[in-house]
Structure 1
Amino acid sequence: MRQRFLQRLRLPGLHRETDLPQLLQMRKHFRNLDQKRSLADYTFCVVDTELTGLSPRRDEIVSIGAVRIRGLRIAPKDTFFTLVQPRMDLPKRSTLVHRITPTEVAHAPRLRTVLPRFIDFCDNSLIVGHHVGLDMSFLNRALKRIHGLPLNTPCLDTMRLARAYEEQLWEGFYDQFKMNVSYHLPDLAEAFGLPAFTAHHALADAFQTAYLFLFLVRKLSGGRLKTLQDLHNAAKPRRFL
């Protein structure tokens, strides 16, 4: 049985308290990440969460979904999904969005049980998400509260990549620039002709994001992206004078 008190686990230069040694191992792994390897060499974990609301201070996670990408291919059988029982009552407004009912989460596991399994699934993968900062703010707040440390894993945001792609498409065509582009995940999938999945279901949204990520990796910079550093540079906001 996992001990509930924090055990001191030490790695050189990483003195922290946590009962999840995986968190420290992941920190050590990513401390000197080589960004110059081929993109196909990296493993990506595409993550989505469903929430009771959008405030990390007041709201909670009600489901987590994730799917793996290896060799720039989705691994459809390598997935993670769970409902999560929140400490708060499930607001009606959130049920209207993700269609998860109080009955469904009444017997779901708590985050204390879910997070170690989720971290094991992430392993040493780079995390991908759509507006990933929101998902990570909830996950890291929960990890710090329950296990003493947040994730220290590099994250890639498909919303930022999509914006960079739109900028590249319309660069030099200032009089035709689309001012009404929607970066909502289903809208991007439709605009780019990608397979459509049920919105606001954590695992389905993870699959949708995975397809979007691979599309953008192949389309950004005219398909000339080779390394993780190339992808990072392509996603940087451009300055126009």
Structure 2
Amino acid sequence: MGYFALRHRQWHKLQRQYQRLQAVPQGVGGPRFTLPFPAPDTPLSACRILSLDFETSGLDATQDGIVSMGWVPLAEGIISLRAARHMLVQSPAPVRATEVTLHHILPEMQLRGMTLDRAFDTLWQALPCPIILGHGTVIERTFIGQYLARCGLPEPPFIWLDTLKIEQSQPDSRGMVHGSGASWQLAHVRRRYGLPDYPAHQALVDAIATAELFQAQMYRLFCLHTPTLEQVYLLSR
């Protein structure tokens, strides 16, 4: 099978998953998207994207928990700070001292947070379509997948856009991927675009910082031309 045929087959698979998900009766948990599944040739400027970040008590989704969520929508190329959201989450998993020094969320602060179910319900309501943006999306993908599996729910056909993968896909970055001294942390990649430093490991701040980096990447890569969703999706793989 040729590359382009395989590529479109993968997209149609996601579309079929989306259609099956929309057929699930109302009242069953999980995201309920309100917009049609986007076509691969949809201009990026016409897409509704949610920049998402989790802070967690560790890296193992089977044992650790989410301690905070932050997100900000992008629509028509504009970051909508008015619709941004940050939530503390009650995590049953103990938070390690090393993690507390990163995100500064103490156990007593978590007690005032949302339950995990309510936090995810709030997140699902903020997702009109399945396009999620992140910087190194492994944490978000695995913790969402673990939550859905624990609830007995199918994995939605999310379209993950990843500023880390986009950066690593560029010709001037490929030699750095396995090189010593290369840093792909969000703050370090932002500096390559002349973007300011923000406090790290705060979910909403990281979501906003990722959205800004994404816009800078799109301008550098495509300048005044509007890429398609599929073009950016392929750079994120």
Q: In the alignment, which residue of structure 2 is the partner of 1:137?
A: 142
* In structure 1, C-alpha distance between the alignment counterparts of 2:195 and 2:100, rounded to whole Å: 27
Higher relative contact order (CA 8 A, sep 6+): 2
Q: CA deviation at 1:225?
A: 5.0
Letter of the 2:182 partner, please give it: V
Q: In the alignment, which residue of structure 1 is the partner of 2:74?
A: 69
Moved more, 39-48 or 104-113: 104-113
Q: In the alignment, which residue of structure 2 is the partner of 1:210?
A: 211
* In structure 2, C-alpha distance between the alignment counterparts of 1:208 and 1:109, rounded to whole Å: 24
* In structure 1, C-alpha distance between the alignment counterparts of 2:154 and 2:70, rounded to whole Å: 21
* In structure 2, C-alpha distance between the alignment counterparts of 1:139 and 1:53, rounded to whole Å: 14
Moved more, 76-85 or 188-197: 188-197
CA displacement, residues 150-171 of structure 1 (integer Å, 9 cap, x when unaligned): 3322111110001123x2x368
Per the normalisation by structure 2, the TM-score is 0.80
Q: In the alignment, which residue of structure 1 is the partner of 2:98?
A: 93
Q: CA deviation at 1:226?
A: 2.2
Residue 189 of structure 2 is aligned to residue 188 of structure 1? yes
Say whether the 8 Å CA contact 1:52–1:91 is kept in structure 2: yes
Q: CA deviation at 1:224?
A: 4.6
2:52 to 47, 55, 67: 47
Q: In the alignment, which residue of structure 2 is the partner of 1:198?
A: 199
Structure possessing the higher radius of gyration over alpha carbons:
1
Q: CA deviation at 1:141?
A: 1.1
The alpha-carbon distance between structure 1 residues 65 and 13, as it changes in their structure 2 partners (threshold 3 A), is: closer
CA displacement, residues 11-67 of structure 1 (integer Å, 9 cap, x when unaligned): 9745768844663x439943xx30112110001100000000011111110000000
Say whether the 8 Å CA contact 2:44–2:227 is kept in structure 1: yes
Name the structure with the higher strand share. 1
Which aligned runs of 4 or more in structure 1 are off by greater than 6 angstroms? none
Letter of the 1:211 partner, please give it: E
Letter of the 1:119 partner, please give it: W
The alpha-carbon distance between structure 1 residues 170 and 199, as it changes in their structure 2 partners (threshold 3 A), is: closer
Q: Give the 3-state SS of the residue equivalent to 2:41 in structure 1.
A: coil
Q: In the alignment, which residue of structure 1 is the partner of 2:118?
A: 113
Moved more, 223-232 or 99-108: 223-232
Letter of the 1:99 partner, please give it: H
Q: Which runs of 5+ in 2 are unaligned?
A: 1-17
Say whether the 8 Å CA contact 2:167–2:173 is kept in structure 1: no
Moved more, 215-224 or 64-73: 215-224
The alpha-carbon distance between structure 1 residues 123 and 182, as it changes in their structure 2 partners (threshold 3 A), is: same
The alpha-carbon distance between structure 1 residues 57 and 233, as it changes in their structure 2 partners (threshold 3 A), is: closer
Q: In the alignment, which residue of structure 2 is the partner of 1:35?
A: 40
Q: In the alignment, which residue of structure 1 is the partner of 2:227?
A: 226
Q: CA deviation at 1:180?
A: 3.4
Moved more, 82-91 or 148-157: 148-157
CA displacement, residues 129-179 of structure 1 (integer Å, 9 cap, x when unaligned): 0111221110221133236233322111110001123x2x368xx8xxx86
Q: Between the two proteins, what is the percent identity of the paired residues?
A: 22
Q: In the alignment, which residue of structure 2 is the partner of 1:83?
A: 88
Number of residues of Structure 1 aligned to a counterpart in Structure 2: 217
